[in-house]
Structure 1
Amino acid sequence: MTAHEQFRELAQQLGAIGVIKRGLARVLPPDCPPTSVIVLELLKRYGEMRMSKLAELLVVDMSVTSRHVAYAAERGWLERRPDHLDKRSRLLSLTPGGAALLDEVSARYTEALAHCLGDWSDEDVAHAIGLLARLRESFGECRPHLSHRELATRTAIHP
Structure 2
Amino acid sequence: MYNRAMETKLEKRFGFLVSDVGRLNGKRFDELAKSSLDLTRAQCRALAYLSHYGEVNQVRLAELLEVAPISAGRLLDRMEEGGWIARVPNPEDRRERVVRMTPKAERALDKARRVGDEVAAEALAGLSEPEREQLIGLLQRVRQNLGTIVDR
User: The TM-score by the shorter chain falls in which range?
Assistant: 0.7 to 0.9
Q: CA deviation at 1:106?
A: 0.7
**Aligned sequence identity (%):** 26
Q: 1:51 to 1:12 in 2, by over 3 A?
A: closer
C-alpha distance in structure 1 between counterparts of 2:66 and 2:115, whole Å: 26
* 115-124 or 5-14: bigger deviation: 5-14
Superposition map of 1:2-151 within 5 A: 2=4, 4-5=6-7, 9-17=13-21, 18-28=23-33, 29=36, 31-83=38-90, 86-143=93-150
CA deviations 1:95-142 (Å, max 9, x no partner) are: 111111111011112123224433221011111111121222222123
- In structure 2, list runs of 5 or more residues that go unmatched: none
Count of residues in Structure 1 that have an aligned counterpart in Structure 2: 145
Q: CA deviation at 1:82?
A: 3.1
* Alignment TM-score, normalising by the size of structure 2: 0.79
CA deviations 1:63-88 (Å, max 9, x no partner) are: 01101111221221111123455454
> Which consecutive aligned stretches of 4+ in structure 1 deviate over 6 angstroms post-superposition?
none
Give the aligned residue type for 1:22. K
C-alpha distance in structure 2 between counterparts of 1:37 and 1:126, whole Å: 25
* Alignment TM-score, normalising by the size of structure 1: 0.76
Please give the root-mean-square deviation of Cα atoms over the aligned residues, in Å.
2.5
C-alpha distance in structure 1 between counterparts of 2:100 and 2:94, whole Å: 17
- In structure 1, list runs of 5 or more residues that go unmatched: 146-159
Give the aligned residue type for 1:128. L
